[in-house]
């Protein structure tokens, strides 16, 4: 099939809409269920590239959770700890495959931003992954294949209209890519740049030690950045993004946004949050929203009389700003990637507050010496990759 008609473009008034191959060849995707839209396919193709490259670079199954052409989360398929299972709401006895672990981590990075996501899987979608997806609010999934059992499970979502897309994992795009903006055609070479461990060899700080686990985290960060709307900064720990700051005009705002998300991810592991007792039958989105409010300065909104009873079995003790700050201060071993150079040391100062110990960025600022000096102040190891990763 050479083309696929879509319901409409980015908005309902933008018709007609389609995807097609200019060279007359067949599309590299097959729609197995549902009717994906324009934005769905933008998310599908960007997220597929991310997970495909992440698996090639690390050798581990990879997954991403996309919203509005940027990842809310990305991860490789490392096993889940007991705490991971708690904060990602996985049953204790659930049997999880590596690809299921990858998606659970990707989805769990920022559950609010992942609401209504597009899921991408580097490997065949199995029943374990489909079962987890079944209960999440999601628009669709792209993968190189689906087991019969997984398809049967996913086809029950959204009253049978869940979008399921299979992609040819051997598809390679053309060397040149084009897009039209305001009736003008833009052309550039496709970004085939390979991100791997060799990019981390130029360590410019006094601390030269980047352990293997941190190297994986930095690769996760850099590949995630390659498919995140710029400017962008990504925080990563244990093979998963924990904070993505996308599409900001200021580098420090990227760093703050991603850092705040990383802090929120870690705060969800606070004993008071893990101890929350939700009412029976609470919907997942309601539970996620309640946690988000409870862990913010607006916690009174869910703890007020008449409000807490709708969410909790027992009224929780507040999690104060001081408690949150003290908890975040215990975070450590976090890695950060930036799609362009840090212009000032203030980015390192902010990253350090979220437990960052390793940084990868292109370098090339006229104030590189100040950025390096700030890293040295805190014993942070930083590699200059020499490669900008803008994506629009």
In the annotation, is 392 catalytic?
Answer: yes
Largest CA distance in the chain: 64
Residue of 68, 134, 158, 353 with catalytic role: 68
In the annotation, is 231 catalytic?
Answer: yes
Helix, strand, coil % (nearest 5) of the chain?
35, 20, 40
Q: Could you give the 3-state DSSP secondary structure of residue 174?
A: coil
The tokens for 300 are 């009174």
Residue of 40, 231, 238, 347 with catalytic role: 231
Residue of 33, 46, 55, 67 with catalytic role: 67
- What does 49-95 look like in DSSP terms, one character per residue? HHHHHHHHHHSS-EEEEEETTEEEEEEE-PPPPHHHHHHTT--TT--
Q: How, if at all, do strands 29-33 and 163-167 pair?
A: antiparallel
What span, in angstroms and rounded, lies between the C-alpha atoms of 117 and 46?
Answer: 13
Beta bridge partners of 65: 73, 119
End-to-end CA distance of the chain: 28
Burial 367-388, CB ≥16 within 10 A → b, else e: ebebbbebbbeeebbbbbbebb
> Under a CB-based contact definition with an 8 Å cutoff, are residues 368 and 391 in contact?
no
In the annotation, is 159 catalytic?
Answer: no
Q: How, if at all, do strands 117-121 and 138-143 pair?
A: parallel
Residue of 11, 13, 159, 392 with catalytic role: 392
The tokens for 310 are 């709708």
> Under a CB-based contact definition with an 8 Å cutoff, are residues 230 and 391 in contact?
yes
In the annotation, is 253 catalytic?
Answer: no
- Dihedral over alpha carbons 372, 377, 380, 384 (to 10 degrees): 0
Supply the residues annotated as catalytic. 67-68, 231, 392
């Amino acid at each position: 099939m050479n083309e696929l008609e879509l319901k409409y473009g980015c908005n309902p008034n933008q018709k007609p809409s389609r995807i097609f191959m200019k060279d007359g060849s067949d599309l590299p995707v097959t729609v197995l269920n549902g009717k994906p839209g324009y934005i769905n396919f933008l998310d599908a193709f960007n997220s597929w590239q991310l997970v495909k490259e992440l698996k090639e670079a690390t050798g581990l199954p990879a997954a991403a959770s996309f919203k509005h052409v940027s990842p809310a989360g990305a991860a490789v398929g490392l096993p889940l700890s007991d705490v991971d299972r708690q904060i990602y709401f996985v049953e204790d006895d659930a049997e999880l495959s590596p690809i299921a672990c990858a998606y659970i981590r990707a989805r769990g990075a920022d559950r609010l931003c992942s609401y209504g996501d597009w899921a991408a899987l580097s490997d065949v979608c199995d029943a374990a992954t489909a079962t987890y997806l079944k209960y999440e609010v999601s628009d669709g999934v792209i993968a190189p294949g689906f087991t019969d059992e997984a398809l049967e499970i996913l086809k029950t979502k959204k009253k049978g209209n869940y979008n399921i897309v299979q992609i040819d994992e051997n598809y390679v795009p053309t060397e040149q890519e084009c897009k039209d903006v305001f009736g003008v055609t833009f052309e550039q070479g496709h970004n085939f740049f390979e991100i791997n461990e060799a990019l981390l060899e130029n360590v410019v700080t006094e601390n030269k030690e980047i352990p293997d686990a941190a190297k994986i985290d930095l690769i996760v960060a850099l590949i995630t950045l390659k498919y995140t709307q710029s400017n962008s900064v990504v925080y990563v720990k244990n093979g998963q993004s924990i904070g993505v700051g996308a599409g900001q005009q200021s580098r420090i705002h990227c760093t703050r946004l991603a850092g705040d998300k990383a802090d929120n991810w870690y705060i969800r592991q606070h004993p008071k949050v893990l101890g929350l007792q939700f009412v029976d039958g609470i919907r997942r989105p309601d539970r996620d929203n309640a946690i988000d409010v409870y862990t913010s300065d607006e916690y009174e909104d869910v703890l007020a009389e008449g409000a807490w009873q709708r969410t909790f079995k027992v009224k929780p003790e507040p999690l104060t700003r001081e408690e949150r700050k003290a908890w975040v201060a215990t975070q450590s071993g976090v890695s950060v990637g930036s799609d362009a150079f840090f212009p000032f040391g203030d980015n390192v100062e902010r990253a350090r507050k979220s437990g960052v110990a390793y940084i990868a960025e292109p370098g090339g600022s006229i104030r590189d010496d100040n950025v390096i000096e700030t890293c040295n102040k805190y014993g942070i190891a930083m590699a200059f990759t020499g490669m900008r990763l803008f994506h629009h």
